[in-house]
């Protein structure tokens, strides 16, 4: 395996939603427009097949179609992270090899879990990521998210960064994210190439203060999030604070009210995609919740609401 890493990825890498038709089929034409919008809105990179992409509602064949479609359509304009999470080490490694072969710049992988109770202890988690690293030549991002129900201490994450070749990025979505990022950076040092913020940017500013170099948000308004990150990186914390304060009502609405349907509703409202429906059995957004989302967004005038025109 090569030991040469690409330049550190940083900035905003929002999650690409998966548009479906009204009958629940993949809508690849809308998918391509979605990608074009997100790139034009200032995304430094993209992430596909994440939880906010409704990956848990996709078949394996559909994952292959989406990975190939997006990577071919992006055509190197920005780096693309492909989520390849699976409980099985063998299945995850095979998914990851295929994603790498199609052009993925990085992999995002949650620790092994299934349902509410099936977990494995730290030695198996370490071995899982070590075997995955041996199977690929591109960076791996550990997704530390409540959905996995798997406690991953900063010390354990730093240990994996130091000991496993391609484990170098960490998306922290747990409570107290800023404190965990700070401790991870302290313990992991240079082995932690990418300490990243997540969870729709609801903790973005304290996470940036703690040393986060990237953020993985929802895909509806990269043009709102990117200037916050850039101002903070330039050392202008007052400007970063002012921008964050401006966009926080929309960030909060997505994080606490509308969830992964927010990006699709915004994109449908702006004509980016043809249909915002989730795939059954996930419920549609309540009309009043959607109304509040769109009203909040219109006060901010994000590109998504006018991109198609």
Q: What is the CA radius of gyration of the chain?
A: 18
User: What percentage of the chain carries pLDDT values higher than 90?
Assistant: 96
Give me the active site residues, please: 171
Distance CA 274, CA 22 (A): 9
Q: Which two tokens stand for residue 186?
A: 């302290």
| CATH code for the domain of 90 | 3.20.20.70
Residue 257 maps to a domain: no
CA distances (Å), origin 115, targets 7, 56, 86, 119, 213: 36, 12, 12, 9, 31
In a domain, 244, yes or no: no
- Of the chain, the percentage scoring pLDDT greater than 70 comes to 98
Please tell me the predicted confidence (pLDDT) of residue 7.
Answer: 58
What residue numbers bound the domain in which 22 lies?
A: 11-221
Count of structural domains within the chain:
1
Q: Mind listing the pLDDT tens digit for each residue in 208-258?
A: 999 999 999 999 999 999 999 999 999 999 999 999 999 999 999 999 999
pLDDT tens digits, residue range 76-96?
999 999 999 999 999 999 999
User: Cβ contacts of residue 303 below 8 Å, gap of 6+?
Assistant: 37, 40, 41, 221, 223
Ramachandran category for residue 167: left, alpha or beta (phi over 0 → left; psi -120 to 50 → alpha) = beta
Residue 260 lies in a domain: no
**What is the spatial distance between Cα 225 and Cα 206, in angstroms, rounded to a whole number?**
14
pTM for this one? Answer: 0.96
Residue 209, token pair as written in the block: 């203060």
Residue 32 lies in a domain: yes
Domain presence at residue 304:
no
pLDDT in tens, 123-174: 999 999 999 999 999 999 999 999 999 999 999 999 999 999 999 999 999 9
Mean pLDDT of the chain: 96
CB neighbour burial string for 279-290, b if at least 16 within 10 angstroms, e if fewer: eeeeeebeeebb
Q: Is the pLDDT of residue 116 over 90?
A: no
**Residue 63 domain-assigned (yes or no):** yes
Q: What is the pLDDT of residues 273-302, one digit of tens each?
A: 999 999 999 999 999 999 999 999 999 999
Q: Which pLDDT score, from 0 to 100, does residue 8 have? A: 86
Closest C-alpha among 251, 255, 249, 253 to residue 288:
253
Q: Is residue 44 part of a domain?
A: yes
């Amino acid at each position: 395996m090569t030991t040469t890493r690409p330049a550190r990825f940083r900035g905003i890498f929002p999650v690409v939603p998966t548009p479906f038709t009204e009958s629940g089929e993949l809508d690849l034409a809308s998918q391509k427009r979605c990608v074009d919008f997100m790139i034009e809105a200032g995304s430094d990179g993209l992430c596909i097949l994440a939880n906010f992409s409704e990956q848990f509602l996709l078949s394996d064949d559909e994952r292959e179609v989406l990975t190939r479609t997006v990577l071919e359509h992006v055509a190197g304009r920005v780096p693309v992270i492909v989520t390849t999470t699976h409980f099985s080490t063998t299945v995850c490694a095979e998914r990851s090899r295929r994603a790498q072969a199609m052009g993925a710049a990085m992999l995002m992988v949650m620790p092994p879990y299934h349902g509410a109770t099936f977990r494995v202890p730290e030695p198996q988690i370490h071995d899982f990521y070590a075997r995955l690293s041996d199977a690929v030549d591109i960076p791996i991002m550990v997704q530390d998210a409540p959905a996995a129900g798997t406690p991953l201490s900063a010390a354990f994450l730093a240990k994996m960064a130091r000991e496993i070749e391609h484990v170098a990025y960490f998306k922290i979505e747990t409570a107290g994210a800023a404190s965990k990022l700070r401790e991870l950076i302290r313990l992991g040092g240079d082995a932690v190439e990418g300490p990243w913020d997540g969870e729709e940017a609801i903790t973005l500013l304290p996470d940036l203060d703690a040393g986060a170099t990237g953020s993985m948000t929802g895909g509806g308004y990269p043009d709102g999030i990117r200037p916050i990150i850039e101002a903070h990186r330039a050392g202008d914390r007052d400007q970063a604070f002012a921008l964050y304060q401006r966009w926080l009502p929309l960030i909060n609405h997505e994080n606490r009210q509308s969830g992964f349907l927010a990006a699709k509703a915004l994109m449908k409202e702006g004509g980016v995609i043809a249909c915002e429906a989730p795939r059954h059995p996930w419920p549609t957004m309540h009309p009043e919740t959607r109304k509040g989302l769109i009203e909040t967004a219109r006060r901010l005038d994000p590109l998504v609401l006018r991109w198609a025109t």
